[in-house]
Amino acid sequence: MTASESGSGTGADDAASLRRRAGALVRAALASPEEADDRYRRVQALKGRVTVERHSLGARISHWVQAFLMFVLMATGYAIWTGTYGPLNVVPWDGYYLAFGLHLWAGILLLSVFFVLFPLYHVYVDGHRQLAELTDIRVAVRVGQAFVGLKSYIPGYHAARQTYDETDGDWVAYHPMQKTFFWWVSILFGVLALTGFGMYAEMRTDPAWWIELLGVLDGYVGFVVLKQIHLLVFFLIVAMIVGHVYFAVLPSNRATLRSMVFGDMEAYVLGGEDDDEQ
**Overall pTM > 0.85:** no
Which residue(s) pair with 13 in the sheet? none
Q: What pLDDT, on the 0 to 100 scale, is given for residue 30?
A: 61
DSSP for 114-134, written as a single string: IIIIHHHIIIIIS----S--H
The CATH class of 38-277 is mainly alpha
Domain definitions of the chain by residue range: 1-30, 38-277
| pLDDT value at 277 more than 50 | no
The string of pLDDT tens digits covering residues 154-203 is 888 888 888 888 887 778 887 777 777 778 888 899 999 999 988 888 87
Confidence of residue 35 (pLDDT cuts 50, 70, 90): low
Please state, in angstroms and rounded to a whole number, the distance separating the CA atoms of residues 151 and 88. Answer: 51
Which pLDDT does position 130 carry in this prediction? 65
d(CA 108, CA 114): 10
Average pLDDT estimate for 16-38: 69
Residue 11: its pLDDT value, please? 64
Looking at residue 169, its pLDDT comes to 76
Distance, in Å, from the CA atom of 70 to the CA atom of 237, rounded to the nearest integer, reads 10
Q: What pLDDT is attached to residue 103?
A: 93
Share of the chain above pLDDT 90, in %: 21
Write the CB contacts of 243 (distance below 8 Å, at least 6 apart in sequence). 177, 181
> Which positions ≥6 away from 181 have C-beta within 8 Å?
240, 243, 244
Summarised one tens digit per residue, pLDDT across range 96-122 is 889 999 999 999 999 999 888 888 888
* Between 25 and 83, the higher pLDDT residue: 83
Q: What are 63-75's pLDDT values in tens digits?
A: 999 999 999 999 9
The CA distance from 121 to 48, in Å, is 31
Cα 105 from Cα 73, distance rounded (Å): 9
Please count the residues of the chain: 278
- Pairing mode, strands 50-53 and 264-270: antiparallel
Give residue 25's pLDDT band: very low, low, confident or very high (50, 70, 90): low
Lowest mean pLDDT among 45-49, 77-81, 183-187: 45-49
Which residues are CB-contacts of 200 (< 8 A; sequence separation ≥ 6)? Answer: 104, 207, 211, 215
What is the DSSP secondary structure assignment for residue 86, as one 8-state letter?
G
